[in-house]
Structure 1
Amino acid sequence: MSQKLISTPETEKNGLFTISEDLQQQTVDSLAAAGWKVAAEDLFDTSIIEAIYEQNPELKAYQQ
């Protein structure tokens, strides 16, 4: 039995396990509204997934 992955326009555009700068900022803004002062760099490190997709760009086409 095959399992389908959950996909969104975000993951279809950028690949699984990614988070755009816009979504990162939305998270920071949400936390700020709750009184937390953090920067996106404090929460997110996308360097590993970026390196994986750079070396294996075909992985972004997971939905096909």
Structure 2
Amino acid sequence: MRNSNNVFSAGERKVAVYALIGALALAAGGVAMDRFAGPSLGIYGQEFSMTAPGGVLEAQPVS
């Protein structure tokens, strides 16, 4: 039977602190990357070099 009141050993607490610091660093890196990269818009975020087909000026609803 253990004589101490500690649930975790000093080594286990040390590993937990390192894991917490690593998780926070990973999350902060992800947030920073998202902020600087911006959202992915796929093909809609790119400039089109293609022109519209002949006679098409603007999309119109079908009536």
Higher relative contact order (CA 8 A, sep 6+): 1
**TM-score (norm. length: structure 1):** 0.28
The structure having more radius of gyration, on CA atoms, is 2
**TM-score (norm. length: structure 2):** 0.29
Structure with more of its chain in helix, by fraction? 1
